[in-house]
Amino acid sequence: MNVAVIGTGYVGLVAGACFAHGGQNVTCVDIDPRKVHKLRAGEIPIYEPGLEDVVRDTVAAGRLHFTTDAGDAIAQAQAVFIAVGTPPQEDGSADLRHVLQVAKTIAENVTAYTVVVVKSTVPIGTCAKVRAILQEHGKAPTEVVSNPEFLREGQALIDFFEPDRVVIGVSSERSKAIMHQLYASFVKDPGQILDMDVPSAEMTKYAANAMLATRISFMNEISNLCEDVGADVTQVRRGIGSDSRIGMPFLHAGIGYGGSCFPKDVKALVMTGRTAGHSMEILSAVESVNEQQKAVLARKVLKAFGPDLKGRTISLLGLAFKPDTDDMREAPSLTLCRRLLAAGATVVAFDPVAHETAHVELGDRITYAASWQDCVAKADAVLLVTEWQLFRDLAPEALAAATPCRLLFDGRNAWNAQDFRAAGFSYDGMGRP
């Protein structure tokens, strides 16, 4: 099947490469000729484990193509995926200008029956807007499908190749059959494809991310209370997570969520509720708790040293919002750095892959170390910010040999407190006595 993917950001590039890997003939479209040139040469603009190999292999096999010519790609496609960005506006609502513009471009270039698949994360009702544009400007029959993505950054290929579910919002058997054909090579059980109406599919994406964000903020609030009353949040997690109705995932205490999805989607769902006349009180609280949690490590450092950090060097292990990605969007490290800098600290950071993306956000206000050893060499305090496996595996003896500093703040509860204390460190975790 000929497939066009409009947009080569995270969602579009992963989807295009994976569909090509699954045997489809895929053309990915982007308006930036420099980006297209680099993609044709196998240069990947994002860090995602395994993606570079899949792109190079499918390009070499002749199944994955990159172009700036949207019209030609659309004209030849049986399915066109809209995978452009929907950034938050000032009021938190999703900016749909790119999605709706792409819909008009599709309408003007289709030559035969085409399934138009909205892969971008969009508010409920967006597919109806896309359908209206297609009907007004279309040159051939089209149907609109909602197919939200549920990819975890750092594990996107695993999630695409071995999905726990594929959500498809359809309105006809014909479009349903095409979507099932596209995903046939990725699902082991047909029951993994969840067919539903379009608005429900749109809502499912937001509801899923909002639920996960809620679990994170809930556990962080419990963590903060644990510190106040002398309880250990890691034991509390075991106690409640063993309940089959609750489960363990997304119950880790930390320094808040970030990334391209949770912050944006929670805001957008709150705005959708407001527009519909419904106050999303739980999600408003989730947002508030998360913003406060991003500053928790800064508060701990200021409590240890006082409000003036001039002359103090604070070392950060990790900058990306989570491991196995270079994504700095809404990363807790940004709030942390800004608070430390405002107090006069010198901030030195090391991240295995996120230095360039961090520099876009922070510029030269912090120092980017070439290794974790360089990062901690002159530290007055060492803060674990992103739980990369490299840092999880760090032995107390190795850290002690690399720095005279003995003050640790573990923002991810990734280290064994007993082991580090036995090695002479003062260890302060999240929600742990």
Identify the domain containing residue 92 by its residue range: 2-196
- φ and ψ at residue 242, rounded to 5 degrees: -75, -10
Please tell me whether residues 156 and 284 are part of one structural domain.
no
Are 276 and 326 within one domain?
Answer: no
Same domain, 135 and 165: yes
Do 23 and 148 lie in a common domain? yes
**Pick from 292, 310, 337: which residue ends a domain?**
292
Q: Is 237 domain-assigned?
A: yes
Strands lying side by side in the sheet with 346-350 = 367-368, 346-350, 313-317, 381-384, 407-410, 426-428
Picking from 267, 292, 317, the residue at the C-terminal end of a domain is: 292
| Alpha-carbon gap, residue 56 to 51, rounded angstroms | 9
* Helix orientation angle between 198-229 and 281-293, rounded to the nearest 10 degrees: 50
How much is the pLDDT for 304? 97
- As for how many domains the chain has, the answer is 3
Return the pLDDT at 190: 87
Q: What is the pLDDT of residue 212?
A: 97
**CA-CA distances (angstroms) from residue 308 to 177, 252, 302, 316, 404?**
64, 31, 8, 18, 21
In a domain, 95, yes or no: yes
Residues 266 and 276 in one domain: yes
For residues 279 and 340, membership in a common domain is answered with no
| 10-residue mean pLDDT series, the chain (433 residues) | 96 97 97 94 90 95 97 97 91 91 97 97 94 94 97 94 96 96 94 96 96 98 96 97 96 95 93 92 97 97 97 98 95 98 98 96 97 98 98 97 98 97 97 90
User: In this structure, are 301 and 362 located in the same domain?
Assistant: yes
Residue 57 lies in a domain: yes
Whether residue 268 is contained in a domain is answered as yes
Listed residues 166, 196, 226: the one ending a domain = 196
Please provide the size of the chain in residues.
433
Q: What is the pLDDT of residue 313?
A: 98
Question: Does residue 192 share a domain with residue 70?
Answer: yes
Looking up residue 102, the CATH number of its domain turns out to be: 3.40.50.720
- Backbone dihedral angles phi then psi of residue 66, each to the nearest 5 degrees: -130, 140
| C-alpha–C-alpha distance, residues 109 and 29, integer Å | 14
pLDDT at 260 (0 to 100): 84
Closest CA to 3 of 25, 29, 33: 25
Residue ranges of E strands in 203-270: none
281 shares its domain with 152: no
User: Residues 169, 267: one domain?
Assistant: no
- Check residue 94 and give its pLDDT: 86
Asked if 79 and 99 sit in the same domain, the reply is: yes
189 and 302 assigned to the same domain: no
Query: Which two three-digit tokens encode residue 127?
Result: 């597919």
Question: Is 433 contained in some domain?
Answer: no
Which of 47, 7, 295 lies closest to 153 in space, CA to CA? 47
pLDDT of residue 396: 98
Distance CA 85, CA 88 (A): 10
Catalytically active residues, by annotation: 261
Q: Do 12 and 32 form a contact (C-beta atoms < 8 A)?
A: no
> What tokens were used for 38?
């680099």
